Chain A
């Protein structure tokens, strides 16, 4: 599974990590332009992370704003400045988890079937792939909020076990246990959906 483009793994993009450290230092000093610089550097990545964690749907600018509000507020608690992107990823996980909880509450209240605004009709050529992704996220949404968060962070966002555990403030073994449980549940749901299981097997057998 390829890492998300936004995230910088150890050993990669050393310069970027160095300048991240400088940026965090500037943020902590309260330099006036530091926040805008952080936005310019991280906003696109955070936006994509939110898309991956949430699934298809309209732009959720409010969630992006929420991530940065929390980020600016908590930057002083970041222990390792070089890990600022992981720190942001953790915030994304928390924000999305809260959003999923809110959605599930709304679904329970039957405001809309999905707890979301109706989606516009897709206008993309790869309708089958999008249909599969939409169905996949529906399966994922059947998990509890906590399990969903662990599962998505690990499988779709591509976080390491350590990162997932850190983001959820649990031990690695607890994270592993939750991910395994969620994976089994999702796999079972996918296998019950002929379209999804067929699509998944086709993709696996396709040449890279």
Chain B
């Protein structure tokens, strides 16, 4: 319908109103500008996403109510179950969690979940705390044998001096001498993690392995549990006679980590320069550079009941006291090493990550020796290790893997991607300037790489944080031009549209 036809005869009022309305339209057209920016569209999408409610909201609410009821039931049952483990002490003196073994060698602590601890003669153990899934124990002195029942989400830990052994379910022995400040952990089955001085990060010990740390001399030894320590200290075979459970007479099985037909892998003794020295290899560095002229070991026979393992002379543990000047860690080999092989299959790492088993990748690399791994594996495995470390929240390992990737395989897609991830890791830990350097490097190397959009977006934000909004405008313009539907669109428009605060 024509508007003029609607208003055939115009009165004075209509003329006035028409004039003013025309002026109003003119002013509105002047103010209109180029129209809404794309950012308004993005904000509209966000608003719609927030507002969108499914039509079956009522059903959802009912479902949520039922789920809440079920959750309450489960929680109530969980609370009922969440009683801390209890324990009974047999043939030992106990007061307020402090347990002292008797001299007859049969002292034992039995927990309600089936876990039991055998105390050697004169050994002292404390139960520091108890929870529904385990307990925190401390070996005050002497040796104790732990058989921890493997239950889902079991949480046991054993402290010995400044060391902590983290357990989920396994059998192992711990001895601690407060006088000489020596800890020894011997694995019989399963695996544990050990943390404490001389260990820059937790060490994973597997069945058949032994860790000996001497705080006074700064020595750390990780080797085969079935051979002596080489310094006359207690070993599996000659340790104090912990009460013998049925399986003690059997040969110590390194379980799945021992490959009898595998080529011999030497145990390694490492001398730490000082307790505060930088990273030590936390795990057996099998196959590391051979150290000539190992010292003659002092023999330590295997357990009498063991089925004749190779008569292994004990490890050539360094005997020199640590000198004031820092020394490089030295590596010594036994002449007739035991066969201890940690599973190490870097070719499967990529698959492991896609299967969600990133932790296994990191564990393997650490068990194999991180330095050695970084030097040995191919670019794909290195990239997988970096990813696994990131997913496992181990940024320090991720950074080393990424740096190794750039150094060993320069000018490859892995190396380029490593630059981006190094930037992101730096950015995430607050090192914005360092992150910016890596983003620039990545964009310089591969301007159209798979992470170019995110790198440019992060670069834009980094520049804004470091140099201010005005400095970031150029990057924001580039971002809008190159990635009009990118995830940093809103920030880019905000930088472009708003003046610097």
Chain A contacts to B: CB under 8 angstroms: 1-5, 36, 39, 43-44, 47-48, 51-52, 55-56, 61, 64-65, 68-69, 72, 124, 129-130, 132-133, 136-137, 155-156, 158, 160-163, 183-184, 186-187, 190-191, 196-197, 199-201, 203-204
Q: How far is the CB of A85 from chain B (nearest CB, A)?
A: 15
Most buried by A among B22, B23, B30: B23
Q: For the complex, give the distance between the alpha carbons of A5 and B14 in Å.
A: 22
B35 within 8 A of A: yes
B17-36: CB near A (< 8 Å → 1, else 0) gives: 11111111111111110111
Bound Cα distance A3, B2 (Å): 10
Over the window 33-47 of chain B, the binary record of Cβ atoms lying under 8 Å from chain A Cβ atoms (1 yes, 0 no) is 011100011011001
| Inter-chain contacts of A51 with B (CB < 8 A) | 28, 31-32
The answer to whether the Cβ of B81 comes within 8 Å of any Cβ in the partner chain is no
Bound form: Cα–Cα A43–B41 in Å: 9
What class of interface size applies to chain B in its complex with A? 35 or more
Known A-B contacts: A1-B18, A2-B25. Give 9 more (CB < 8 A). Answer: A5-B29, A64-B36, A160-B2, A183-B17, A187-B12, A187-B13, A187-B14, A191-B16, A204-B16
Contacts of B48 in A (CB 8 A): 69, 72
B96 within 8 A of A: no
| B19 and A203 within 8 A (CB) | yes
Q: Does B289 contact A (CB under 8 A)?
A: no
- Tell me, in angstroms, the Cα distance from A196 to B24 when the chains sit together: 12
Given known A-B contacts A56-B31, A155-B17, A61 and B23 have beta carbons under 8 A apart:
no
User: With the chains together, A161 CA to B24 CA distance in Å?
Assistant: 20
CB distance from B16 to the nearest CB of A (A): 4
Shortest beta-carbon distance from A162 to chain B in Å:
5
Q: Which residues of B have CB within 8 Å of A199?
A: 20, 23
CB distance from B57 to the nearest CB of A (A): 15
Q: Is the CB of A124 within 8 A of B30?
A: yes
Q: Name the one of B2, B25, B27, B34 contacting A4, with C-beta atoms under 8 angstroms.
A: B25
Contact B21 A155 (CB under 8 A): yes
Inter-chain contacts of B153 with A (CB < 8 A):
none
Taken together as a complex, chains A and B put the C-alpha atoms of A5 and B34 apart, in Å, by 14
By a CB distance below 8 angstroms, the chain A residues around B51 are 69
Chain B residue with the shortest CB-CB distance to A52? B28
Check A52/B25 contact, CB under 8 A, given A69-B44, A69-B48: yes
A134 to B114, CA, bound (A): 84
Taking the nearest CB of chain A, how far is it from the CB of B266, in angstroms?
62
17 CB contacts below 8 A, A to B, read A2-B22, A43-B41, A51-B31, A52-B25, A56-B28, A64-B40, A69-B51, A72-B48, A132-B23, A133-B20, A133-B27, A156-B21, A160-B1, A183-B13, A190-B20, A203-B20, A203-B23
Q: Does B15 contact A (CB under 8 A)?
A: yes
Contact partners of A1 in chain B: CB under 8 A = 3-4, 18, 21-22
- Whole-angstrom distance between the Cβ of B38 and the nearest chain A Cβ: 9
Contact B25 A129 (CB under 8 A): no
Point out the residues of chain B lying under 8 angstroms from A187, CB to CB. 12-14, 16-17
Cβ–Cβ contact B36 & A47, under 8 A = yes
Give min CB distance, B222 to chain A, whole Å: 58
Q: Which of A43, A56, A190 meets B17, CB within 8 Å?
A: A190
CB of B208, distance to nearest CB on chain A (Å): 58
Residue from A2, A55, A72, A201 in contact with B24 in the complex, judged by beta carbons closer than 8 Å: A55
- Chain A residues whose C-beta falls within 8 Å of the C-beta of B14 in the assembled complex: 183, 187
Q: A129-B27, A156-B24, A161-B6 are in contact. Are A61 and B18 (CB under 8 A)?
A: no
A56–B16 Cα distance when bound, in Å, is: 19
6 nearest A-B pairs in the assembled complex, by CB-CB distance: A44-B35, A187-B13, A51-B28, A203-B19, A160-B1, A200-B16
**Which of B18, B20, B41 interacts with A132 by CB under 8 Å?**
B20
Q: Contact check, A133 vs B24: say whether CB atoms are below 8 A apart.
A: yes
Q: State whether A44 touches B32 (Cβ < 8 A).
A: yes
Q: Which of B18, B29, B30 contacts A155 (CB 8 A)?
A: B18
Contacts of B28 in A (CB 8 A): 48, 51-52, 56
List A contacts of B12 (CB < 8 A): 187
A44 to B44, CA, bound (A): 14
B6 touches A65 (CB 8 A): no
Which residues does chain B contribute within 8 Å of A65, judged by CB atoms? 40, 43-44, 47
**A186: which B residues are within 8 A, CB to CB?**
17
Q: Evaluate contact between B30 and A61: CB separation under 8 angstroms.
A: no
Assembly CA distance A188 to B17 (angstroms): 10
A43 to chain B, nearest CB (A): 5
| A55 CB, min distance to chain B CBs, angstroms | 7
Q: Given the complex of chains A and B, what is the CA–CA distance between A204 and B32 in angstroms?
A: 25
A130 touches B41 (CB 8 A): no
Q: What residue in chain B is nearest A128 (Cβ atoms)?
A: B23
A159 to B24, CA, bound (A): 15
Complex contacts, B23 vs chain A, CB 8 Å? 129, 132-133, 136, 199, 203
Minimum distance in angstroms from B485 CB to a CB of chain A: 9
Is the beta-carbon distance between B29 and A48 smaller than 8 angstroms?
Answer: yes
* Bound CA span A48–B1, Å: 22
In the assembled complex, the Cα of A130 lies from the Cα of B47 at a distance in Å of 33
A43 to B14 Cα, complex, angstroms: 31
Q: In the complex, are the beta carbons of B40 and A43 less than 8 A apart?
A: yes
* A199→B23 CA distance, assembly (Å): 10
Asked whether B16 lies within 8 Å of A201 as measured between CB atoms, the reply is yes
The one of B16, B25, B44 that contacts A190, using a Cβ cutoff of 8 Å: B16
Pairwise interchain contact B43-A61, C-beta atoms closer than 8 A: yes
Chain A: minimal CB distance from B254 (Å): 57
How far, in whole Å, are A2 and B34 apart by their CA atoms in the complex? 21
Which residues of A have CB within 8 Å of B20?
132-133, 136, 190, 196, 199-200, 203
Partner of B19, one of A48, A161, A200: A200
A residues near B17, Cβ cutoff 8 Å: 155, 183, 186-187, 190
Contact A3 B35 (CB under 8 A): no
Chain B nearest Cβ from A82, distance in angstroms: 16
Min CB gap A21→B, angstroms:
21
User: Is B24's CB under 8 angstroms from A43's CB?
Assistant: no
Contact B47 A56 (CB under 8 A): no
> Across the interface, do B24 and A3 meet the contact criterion of CB distance under 8 Å?
no
* CB-defined contacts of A136 to chain B, threshold 8 Å: 20-21, 23-24
The answer to whether B16 touches A44, judged by C-beta atoms less than 8 angstroms apart, is no
Contacts of A3 in B (CB 8 A): 3
Q: Determine the distance from Cα of A183 to Cα of B40 in the docked complex, in whole angstroms.
A: 35
Contacts of A156 in B (CB 8 A): 21, 24-25
Bound form: Cα–Cα A65–B31 in Å: 19
